[in-house]
Every structure is written in C-alpha cells, then in structure tokens.
Amino acid sequence: MTNSSIAGPTGPTSTTTVARRAAALAVLASLVLATATYAVTRLTGADFVVSPPGRPAGPVAPISVLAAALVGSLLAVAGSALARRTRRPRIMFTVLAVAALAVSFASPLLAAETTTIALWLCGMHLAVAVGAVPVLVRSLPAGAR
C-alpha cells in the first residue's frame, strides 16, 4: 500500500493520516450514538433485560453498551482497512458493513426478553453503524487504482 498524498484544507495529507482520523472519528461517533440511544431507551422506561442463550436474564449495563459499541466500531475500522486493499474500496466496504449489520441483528433478536427491547438493541446496532460507516466510506478511495 502506498502512502500517497491527498490535498487537504491546509495542504497535503497522507492517506494514512486520513484513515487514522476517520477511524478515530468513527469510533467516537459510534460510542456517542450508542450511548445516546441507550439513554433514550432508559428515559422511555423500558426494562432493558436480556437473556443470552445459556445464561440467566439480566439488565444491560451502560458499560456493556460502550464495550459492544467499541468492538463494533473497531471491527468496522478493520473492515475499512481490508476494503482499502481492493479495487473498489467504497463499494466493498459498504457491502461488508451492510452484511455485518444484518448479521449483528441476530443477537438482539435472540437475547431480548421482549420485542420492544429487541428493537431498541437493533437500534443501538444501527446507531453504531450510522456513527462509523459514513465516516469510513468517505475516507476510502472511490474507484479502481
């Protein structure tokens, strides 16, 4: 992978710098949006109880939300790094991200105690994707190299 330059507002910026900034922004945005979704869920009075297969039911703690958002956003960053090595990075990453989001909906649907909680959990997964995917897509080159 070459470290070519991209013209930025203050001069040339390396693609590595652009990718790192995008990764940091994507992780931060995902954490903020997931936390906001959790806060709204709690404000609505929803009982945030899940029962993962083989484990007893229990409430979802804020730290669990942050940890899951961090893992999800870091996986998105890793996916964008892999997509960067392909001929059409933006398309490849977008397809990968949509597929990963669809697969991620399985755990809330299996673990939630109620349909309402399943929808809120899916909303949190969506919030992480909304925080990470657009930022990372914009940091990728558009077409064939």
pLDDT in tens, 15-41: 788 889 999 999 999 999 999 999 999
Q: Which two tokens stand for residue 128?
A: 């992480």
What is residue 120's three-state secondary structure?
helix
Number of H helices, E strands in the chain: 5, 4
pLDDT, tens only, 103-119:
999 989 888 888 989 99
- Tell me the HSE value of 109 on the side-chain side, using a 13 A CA sphere: 6
Q: Report the relative pairing of strands 49-50 and 11-14 from DSSP bridges.
A: unpaired
Confidence of residue 3 (pLDDT cuts 50, 70, 90): very low
User: pLDDT at residue 139 above 50?
Assistant: yes
- The model's confidence at residue 144, banded by pLDDT at 50, 70 and 90, is low
pTM, two decimal places: 0.83
- Exposed, middle or buried: residue 66 (CB in 10 Å: 0-12, 13-18, 19+)? middle
